Amino acid sequence: MPPIIEVSDLTKEFTRPDVRPGRFAGTRSLFTRARKVTTAVDGISFQIGEGELIGFLGPNGAGKSTTIKMLTGILVPTSGTVTVAGQVPWRDRRRNARSIGAVFGQRTQLWYDLPLRDSFEIIRDLYSMDPATYRTRLGEFTEILDLDEFIDTPVRSLSLGQRMRGDLVAAMLYAPPILYLDEPTVGLDVVAKGKIREFVAEINAGRRTTVILTTHDMDDVERLCRRVVIIDHGKILYEGDVEMLKAQYVTSRDIVVHCTDFDATTITSPFAQVVSADAFKATLRFDPERTAVPKVVHDLTSRYPITDLSVLEPDLEDVIRQLYTERTPNAR
């Protein structure tokens, strides 16, 4: 099956006048031909299969939003090609709009002064939805996202979490096969984040909706994504499985042991280094490439009366931070 999104050698450059500092700089810029070119996206290529849920990650200014805008047809690339559901987004904006849904964390597609339900009905009419299909789909989404208590409230009176849930429904009412999510959980409380993650997981698994998630919240990625594309300075640093990313860049792991019958500060191991300890708990660090986890666990449990032991999973945020540090622009 061909990929539903295919990006090849995609580049986007922005050109502006090269304004030199000094008196009358603004006036001189009106007459100069000097231009400054900024490359926001620099020849990236990737594919996304139907039904995938991809994390599209990178620091601020990495080129994420510019890429998403080219995928949605808002921007025209300087060079390279993009196809989304068999269409070139910026050449056939109307057909492309029916193939995609989009939620941007700090912007809304809802009507500010109208009740949330009225916004949904306007979208129903805009996309010529069958009334029965609309009612069924809205009922399903209302149940998953708990919209009942505020669906008749004007959008201006909704909390950020409520408004984001409304935006998700608005983006998926007409059942587009592709959903773009740009920071959908930014600024939300734990309950709202949980509801949104549940909804995204449901439409991805149950409806085979392809989801491209841009976020700085690594919990979103850990809970939802199996594969990530990491971009920085307009270039792709990593594309692949989340667990493989951890395995590739995690050089140490921690084991935390708890005890009650002896002083944990006396714990030692030939296979691990103690990094912190007090009377009841010790944390040891080891190299998983040299020593397997069971070997360290067996060594500790066979020599000490340990009451509890846990192996800490590598933190994805730390892994990505290490990736940014190691892969400088000059190295790429």
For residues 169 and 39, membership in a common domain is answered with yes
For residues 307 and 227, membership in a common domain is answered with no
Note the pLDDT of residue 332. Answer: 37
Task: Judge whether 42 lies within some domain.
Answer: yes
Note the pLDDT of residue 176. Answer: 95
* Of the ranges 4-13, 286-295, 312-321, the best mean pLDDT one: 4-13
Task: Judge whether 18 lies within some domain.
Answer: yes
276 close to 283: Cβ distance less than 8 angstroms = yes
Note the pLDDT of residue 162. Answer: 92
**Domain span holding position 213:** 5-246
For residues 110 and 151, membership in a common domain is answered with yes
Task: Judge whether 136 lies within some domain.
Answer: yes
> Token pair for residue 2?
């061909």
Choose one of 224, 246, 268: the last residue of a domain: 246
The C-alpha R_g of the chain, in whole angstroms, comes to 25
* Of the ranges 22-31, 230-239, 314-323, the best mean pLDDT one: 230-239
Give me the DSSP letters along 99-142.
Answer: HEEEEETT---S-TTSBHHHHHHHHHHHTT--HHHHHHHHHHHH
| Residue 13: pLDDT band with limits 50, 70, 90 | very high
For residues 212 and 180, membership in a common domain is answered with yes
Length of the chain as a residue count: 332
The Cα–Cα gap between 213 and 184 comes to: 8
For residues 176 and 305, membership in a common domain is answered with no
* Greatest C-alpha distance within the chain: 81
For residues 211 and 280, membership in a common domain is answered with no
Task: Judge whether 182 lies within some domain.
Answer: yes
Question: Which amino acid does the sequence have at 303?
Answer: R
How many structural domains are present in the chain? Answer: 2
Mean of all residue pLDDT scores within the chain: 88
For residues 216 and 276, membership in a common domain is answered with no
pLDDT digits (tens, 9 = 90+) for 89-126: 999 888 998 999 999 877 888 999 999 999 999 999 99
Choose one of 197, 229, 246: the last residue of a domain: 246
Hey, which residues does 48 pair with through a beta bridge? 5
Q: Is pLDDT above 90 for 236?
A: yes
Task: Judge whether 332 lies within some domain.
Answer: no
**331: phi then psi, degrees, rounded to nearest 5:** -75, -20
For residues 195 and 260, membership in a common domain is answered with no
Choose one of 246, 262, 279: the last residue of a domain: 246
The Cα–Cα gap between 192 and 199 comes to: 11
Task: Judge whether 324 lies within some domain.
Answer: no
DSSP for residue 21: S
Q: Which distant-in-sequence residues (6+ apart) come within 8 Å of 288 by Cβ?
A: 250, 252, 253
pLDDT digits (tens, 9 = 90+) for 32-87: 666 788 999 999 999 999 999 999 998 888 999 899 999 999 999 999 999 999 99
The CATH number for 237's domain is 3.40.50.300
For residues 261 and 241, membership in a common domain is answered with no
138 close to 199: Cβ distance less than 8 angstroms = no
Taking residues 230-253, report their average pLDDT: 87
For residues 196 and 132, membership in a common domain is answered with yes
pLDDT digits (tens, 9 = 90+) for 131-147: 999 999 999 999 999 99
For residues 199 and 282, membership in a common domain is answered with no
For residues 88 and 191, membership in a common domain is answered with yes
pLDDT digits (tens, 9 = 90+) for 168-191: 999 999 999 999 998 888 888 888
DSSP for residue 87: B
**194: phi then psi, degrees, rounded to nearest 5:** -60, -40
Task: Pick the more confident residue, 104 or 232.
Answer: 232
Note the pLDDT of residue 14. Answer: 92
Task: Judge whether 318 lies within some domain.
Answer: no
**For 23-32, 127-136, 312-321, which range has the lowest pLDDT when averaged over its residues?**
23-32
Would you say the C-alpha torsion 153, 158, 162, 166 has a positive or negative sign? positive
Which pTM was predicted?
0.80
The Cα–Cα gap between 262 and 157 comes to: 57
196 close to 21: Cβ distance less than 8 angstroms = no
Q: Is pLDDT above 60 for 239?
A: yes
Task: Judge whether 77 lies within some domain.
Answer: yes
